Amino acid sequence: MSTFQSWAQVRDAFLASTRVFLADLGHGLLAVGHNSLAVLGLAVLSAAFVVGGRADVRGTLEAQALDWLLQRQESRTTDAGDLFDQGDLSAVDRATAVDPSELSRQQAVVAQWLSRRYRVAPEPVARLVQESWSLGRRVGVDPTLILAIVAIESSFNPFAQSSVGAQGLMQVMTRVHDDKYEAFGGNHAAFDPLTNLRVGVQVLKDCIATAGSIEGGLRHYVGAANLTDDGGYAFKVMSEQGFMTQLLQGRSVPPTARLPVPPVATAQNGVTVDAAAPTSPTADVRVPAGKAAVKPAAPSKPAKPAKIAGHDAATKLALAQ
């Protein structure tokens, strides 16, 4: 036998052995896999019976599976490059704004005037005017009085906060009236314009009912019910309301119209009277009932938000200490 034939036989024997080894290995792996799958199936079936008998475990697993599927869906549809392109589909619904053309004629006149006077966008102001009219009808308060308080308190800044903690459009003392915010989800709702407006109107209504008059209610609202002087707060609010009343009567009031200086209380023969402030012929201002007829003083800066709103004098004194 030649050397070539010997190597050919060795090669054939090696190949035959390799084929037998691989066939046996394949059969072995198939058997192991089959048995493993059978065991796994039995385990899954047993787990399904156990979970199926416990509603709490089943609910937890379903919630986790749903969360996982939602996360996978979001990861496929959103990436860091298009976050700003997709936007928030509910943002428009959450915005405190309305087209001024949707308002009544009277509401639109007031909204446009307030927008120019306080240099704020007409759409959110229009929504506040609309809400003020709705709240005014429900609680029996003149909507222009509500808007005048907002103007004097915060100049239509929904994020305003005073040094003593009065917050939002109507500068309600959130710590004092936290119970009124519970229905809206908590104290942080004070910075939601509509929520603050609704709570503020509720406080205002209670103050007016307690005092028995609008002017007295304003003194209660600002926390000066038991004080001799409210710093001219009621006079300022009612003067601002007077501007809007003139607008509704068809009269022209420039957005730059200045609030008059509150009359100074002086004592004459033991009786306290209101002395007229320095006069100016530049504007015609309605004077609240019970006040001496006055004309506005020379132009001055718009009134700043009141320091305290929506609580009694005892609270004010306690906060000042």
Question: What's the pLDDT tens digit per position in 157-206?
Answer: 999 999 999 999 999 999 999 999 998 999 999 999 999 999 999 999 99
pLDDT above 80: residue 1:
no
Binned at pLDDT 50, 70 and 90, residue 89 comes out as low
pTM for this prediction = 0.60
DSSP code of residue 172: E
pLDDT above 70: residue 319:
no
Instruction: Report, as an integer, the average pLDDT of 295-321.
Output: 42
Pick the CATH number of 137-320 from 1.10.530, 3.30.1380, 1.10.287, 3.30.460: 1.10.530
Q: What crossing angle do the helices spanning 233-248 and 214-221 adopt, rounded to 10°?
A: 130
pLDDT above 80: residue 320:
no
pLDDT above 50: residue 93:
yes
How far apart CA 148 and CA 302 sit, in angstroms, is: 12
- DSSP characters for 259-289? PPPPPEEEEETTEEEEEPPPP-TT------T
pLDDT of residue 22: 84
Mean pLDDT score of the chain: 78
Looking up tokens 């003139």 gives 246
Six-digit token pair at 290?
Answer: 């019970």
307 contacts: CB under 8 Å, gap ≥ 6: 162, 163, 164, 166
Query: How many residues would you count in the chain?
Result: 321
Binned at pLDDT 50, 70 and 90, residue 3 comes out as low
